[in-house]
A and B are shown apart, each in its own frame.
Chain A
Amino acid sequence: MLLKNKDFISLYEVNAEVLLSIFERIIFFKKRETSEYKGRLSGKNIVNAFFEPSTRTRFSFEIAEKMLGANVINFSSKISSISKGESLSDTVKTLEAIGANLIVVRHPAPGAAKYIADEIDIPVVNAGDGGHEHPTQALLDLFTIYECKGTFKDQKIVIAGDILHSRSTRSTLFAIRSLGGEVVLCGPPTLVPDYYKLLGAEICYDLDEALKSAIAVRTARIQKERFKEFYIQPDEYFKNYRLDNKRISKHKDKLMVMHGAPMRRGEEITSEVADGPNSVIFPQMTNGMFARMALLDLLLRGED
C-alpha cells in the first residue's frame, strides 16, 4: 500500500516519498492520451459526499473520476436522509453497504473525514473538513510548483492572507516542510497566529519583505463567511496584502503567483496579475484534476 493507510485525510507528518510518488503518478497521467487510461477505474463506484457547498472541487473530482471510467454518484446532504435524522455514521455505512468503493467527503466539521474513515472500511478522501485541512488542494498547489521548479529543497514559498481560516494552508505547510521547503506566512497578526511557528512556519507581517526571496506566493483568500469582522480593517488589509502589478513586478523573473479560487478580482488580486505572466492560477486548476485522478488511482489500484 503506497499510502500509510487506506484513506487520504491529512498531510500531517506525511512522508516526502509519498508526495513524490503522487507527483510521479500525476506526471504519468498528464503525459498520456485519455484512451490509455480511461478504463483504469471502470466498475468502481465513487461517491462524492459533499455536506458543504462546492463547485470547483466537486467538478474537479467528478471529471477526474469519469476520466478513469468510474461510476460517479453525487450525494448532497440537502436531499439525503441526514435531513430525516439519520446519523452521519449510518449514512456512510449505508453507502459502503450498497457498494461504494470510495467516498470523497467535504464537510463543515473539522475532523469529519477522519470520523467517517474510522466508521467504514473503504477509502475516504478528504475534500475539505471545516477549518482543518484540504489535502488535495495542497497536492495540486505543490505539484504546480514541483512542475515548474523541480524541487522544494530550501525554496521559500509565501502564503499570504487569511491564514487563520485557511485549511489548505495547513495541508500545504505540512507538505512543504516534509519536502524540505520553507514557508513564510504573511498577513495581519490577527489572521496569522503565533502557534504556526510550532508547525515550522516563519511569520512575517510585511508582504513586500516576504516576497524578496520567494519562488512562489499563494493567496489565502479572506474567508468572510468564517470569522468575526473585527479581526481586520479591510482597506488597510487590501493595501498591505493585495497582489497587484506594483508589488509583483519587482519579482517578476522568478515568482509564481498562485491562488485557490474563487478569485475576487480587484480585492486580493488584480486582473493584471491574475492574467499576467507570473500567474499559474489556471494551470493549477488543470493540475487539480490530474492530481485527483492520480490520488484516486493510487487509492483504488495501488502501485500498478
Chain B
Amino acid sequence: MKIIIKGGRVIDPANKIDENLDILIENGKILELSKYINIAEAKHIDASKKIVSPGFIDTDYNFYNLENASIQIIKNESKAALAGGFTSVAIMPDTTPVVDNKKTVMKILEKAEKDSLINLFIIGSITKDLLGQELSFMEELSNVGVLAFSDNKPIENTEILRVAFHYAKRFEKAFLVNCEDTFLIEDSLVNEGYISAVLGLKGRPKIAETIMIYRDILLAIESDVPIHILNATCNYSIEAVRHLKTKYKKLTAGINQDYFTLSEEACLNFNTNAKIQPPLRSKDDVMAVKEGLKNNTIDVISSGHRPKTFEEKNKMFIESEFGNSGIELTLALVITELVKTGYLDISHAISKLTINPANLLKINKGTLNIGTDADIVIFDINEKWFVKESKLFSNYKNTPYIKKKLYGIVEKVIVGGEVFDVEKI
C-alpha cells in the first residue's frame, strides 16, 4: 500500500529539512523524500499550504484506568492525542494497577495493541506501588521494554532515590523526575507569591522545586544515570539546569504546555481547572520558561495530560484533584504561545516534540528517516479557532482553555502508515 504526501512544507529538524517535498510511504514505512514523486497507484494526500513533520512524542502522559477502559474510551483518548499532533505517547506508571512489574506492562501493551490508534509506550515506576519505599521490579521492567523510569511524583527519601539511581546504572534508561520538596509543599496548592497572597492559600515556594532539581541531578551525576527534569517551571530551576548541563551531559529538561501558557493568576476565583502540580508560577517565570525553551535549556515539550472526571474537579479548590487534560491542544498551544509570539520558529518547536523526546526515550522515531515507521502529522499553522467543550475529543474536559483563541490545527495524522483524518475519526 503506497501513500504519497504531496506538496507540503516538510520540516524534519533531526535532518535539518525545511522545504517543500513529497513523501512516499510504503507498507507503513517512509520510503522516499523528493521534490516530485508521482506514482499512479498510490493514495495521494494533498498537503499543499500545510506543514508535514514527524508525529509528536509525549513524555508526560497519564491514562489512569487503561486496563479497564472500554474500546470507545481508548478510541476517544487516541483521537485527542492525534488532534494534538501526537503519534506516540509514553504512559506514566500511575495507572491502576501501578506499572511496577512485568505483568502489568504486558496487560497494558496487549490492550494498546488491540484498541489504541496511536503508539503507546510505557514508563516503569521507580518504587513499588509508587510509595517511595521499596524499589519496583526495575530489572524485569527494563527487560520487558519500559522506556524510562519515573514515579510521576517526588520521591521524598533521598537515600531510597540514591539506591534506585545506583541500581539502575545497568539499564541506561533515563529517570524522569518530579522535583518538589514534600515538606516545603505540604498542604500547599498554589504558587507561593501573588496568588497565595490573594487567595489565602498556603503556597509552594519555587525553591521547593529548585532544591530537589539540584538534589536529583547530583544523584544522577554520582551514578552516571541519564536524568530528565520533567518540569523546570521557574527561573531558579531553569538556571539550575542550565548550570548543571555544563557539568553533566546526560541531563535534559522538559516542560508541560501549561507553564508557557498560563501564570498563577489563572487560579484567581479559585479556578480548579488551573490547579496543577507543580503550580502555575509568576509571569516572570513564564517568560523564563519561554527563554529556556529558546536557548535550549529546556529540550522537551510535553502535554502533562491528566484526565479527570467532572466530579473529581468540580469541588472546592482545596478538595479538587490536581491536573488538567490537554493533549489535544498541544500543537495549537505551541504555535499560539511560542511560535506566533516569536520565541521559537516552527522547526525549533517541532524538535522539542519529536527528535528530542525520541532521543530521551531512545526510540527510533521523531524523524523522517528513510526506513522508519511512517508516523507523520500534517497541520495548518495559521488557522484560527476557539476551544469549545462540546468539540473536545477526550472524554475528560478538565481544561482551563475553554473559549481560548488558538492558532494551528492538525488535519491528518499517519501512524505506522495508517491515515487518520482528525475531523472524521
Contacts and interface: CB of A to CB of B under 8 A. Distances in A.
Interface of A: 12, 88, 109-112, 114-115, 130-133, 167, 170, 193, 195-196, 198-199
Contacts of B17: none
B264 to A, nearest CB: 11
Contacts of A170: 197-198, 200
A196 B193 CA distance: 8
| Top 5 A-B residue pairs of the complex, sorted by shortest distance between their CB atoms | A111-B270, A132-B200, A195-B197, A131-B200, A111-B317
Nearest to A174: B198
Interface string B191-211: 011101111111100000000
A66 B196 CA distance: 37
B317 A110 contact: yes
A195 B200 contact: no
Contacts of B269: 114
Nearest to A165: B200
A101 B193 CA distance: 37
Interface string B180-200: 000000000000111011111
Contacts of B318: 109-111, 130
B141 to A, nearest CB: 39
Nearest to B318: A109
A219 to B, nearest CB: 19
The prevalent SS among residues of B at the interface is loop
A53 to B, nearest CB: 19
Contacts of A110: 199-201, 270, 317-318
B201 A131 contact: yes
Interface centre among B269, B270, B317, B318 (most CB of A within 10 A): B270
B200 A133 contact: yes
A196 B196 CA distance: 9
Contacts of B198: 12, 170, 199
A282 B69 CA distance: 63
Given A110-B317, A170-B200, A193-B192, 13 more contacts: A109-B319, A110-B270, A111-B270, A111-B317, A112-B316, A114-B270, A115-B316, A115-B317, A132-B199, A167-B200, A170-B197, A195-B197, A196-B197
A109 B194 CA distance: 19
Given A111-B318, A132-B199, A195 B270 contact: no
A110 B195 CA distance: 13
A111 B317 CA distance: 7
Contacts of A199: 194, 197-198
